[in-house]
Amino acid sequence: SGCDSFISSQFSFIPTASTNPKAALKSKIVAEFRPQSLIDELLLYKRSEDQIELKEKQLSTMRVDVCSTETLKCLKGKA
């Protein structure tokens, strides 16, 4: 109908995924995006950061003679 052709002519300038490789790549990225995997990775990273912070606090509260190889062996055994 005349209305359909008018709409088509007005929006024909919009690139589609088949005519624009960049648009196709963006569509693929959006289609394959899995937010849960990103959330899992961020949680894992946060836990790792928390562990580092805990270890740093533990080390700062200990008065360790870093020149003592015996002390370093004990610390390594606890890690």
Q: pLDDT at position 14, please?
A: 54
Average per-residue pLDDT for the chain: 77
Domain boundaries, the chain: 2-77
Residue 32 pLDDT more than 90? no
b or e along 67-78 (b: 16 or more beta carbons within 10 Å of the residue's beta carbon)? eeeeeeeeeeee
Residues 29-36 have a mean pLDDT of: 86
- Give whole-number Cα distances, 38 to 21, 25, 33, 34, in Å: 25, 19, 9, 7
pLDDT band of 42, cuts 50, 70, 90: very high
Is the pTM for the entire model greater than 0.85? no
